[in-house]
Amino acid sequence: MSSLVMAQETNVLRLVADNVITNAVDGSQTIFNSEDVFKSWIDPDFKGWNLNKPDKKTPEIKTQVYEMAQDANVKQMFGSLNDDLDKLCLTQNQITEFCISNQKYLKKDGRSIFFPFKVDGKYYVARVHVRSGGLSVGVGRFGFGGVWRAGGAHRVVVLQRGA
């Protein structure tokens, strides 16, 4: 049974878009240094937690966009897609590029869109919001147990599996 079918059976996330292209990046752009993209606010924890680190150069990628179908915490959201988080994570530069080139998938009503990423072997989640002053981005530790409500129609973006 494919991961996608398993994810749909959990009812945690519902697929909104498949094969969403994000351009190749050189890996140099970090979220904390992307004031031109996240004009409204950037969480200072990106710097305080020592996450402001460039990453590797990556080719064009395909991503999938999901919307929450059931209340869940971050671990349940991403775990419903794949237990191997490395297969879901984007780099900070890819997250920034997604926000530039795929704006139609960002929720314009203040809802969150979650992106998993990894720094120094630890997993984090970037939470992007569309605000009147532009995009804002927060960061959370992956193990945070707070539950996000499905009624909020929050979204999740991950690397496309099998691509």
Do 113 and 107 form a contact (C-beta atoms < 8 A)? yes
Q: Which two tokens stand for residue 124?
A: 């984090």
Measuring CA to CA, how many Å separate 114 from each of 2, 29, 44? Answer: 23, 18, 17
Q: What is the mean pLDDT of residues 121-136?
A: 94
Is 9's pLDDT higher than 50? no
Phi-psi region of 26 (alpha: psi -120 to 50; beta: other; left: phi over 0): alpha
Q: What is the mean pLDDT of residues 29-48?
A: 97
Q: What band does 141 get if pLDDT is binned at 50, 70 and 90?
A: very high
Checking DSSP bridges between strand 41-42 and strand 134-141, what pairing results, if any? parallel
pLDDT digits (tens, 9 = 90+) for 72-94: 999 999 999 998 999 999 999 99
- pLDDT at position 109: 76
Q: Give me the pLDDT at residue 3, please.
A: 45
For residue 130, what pLDDT is reported? 93
- Whether pLDDT at 38 is above 50: yes
Output the pLDDT for position 45. 98
Q: Is the pLDDT of residue 98 over 50?
A: yes
Give the pLDDT band of residue 4 (cuts 50, 70, 90): very low
pLDDT value of position 10:
53
pLDDT bin (cut points 50, 70, 90) of residue 161 is confident
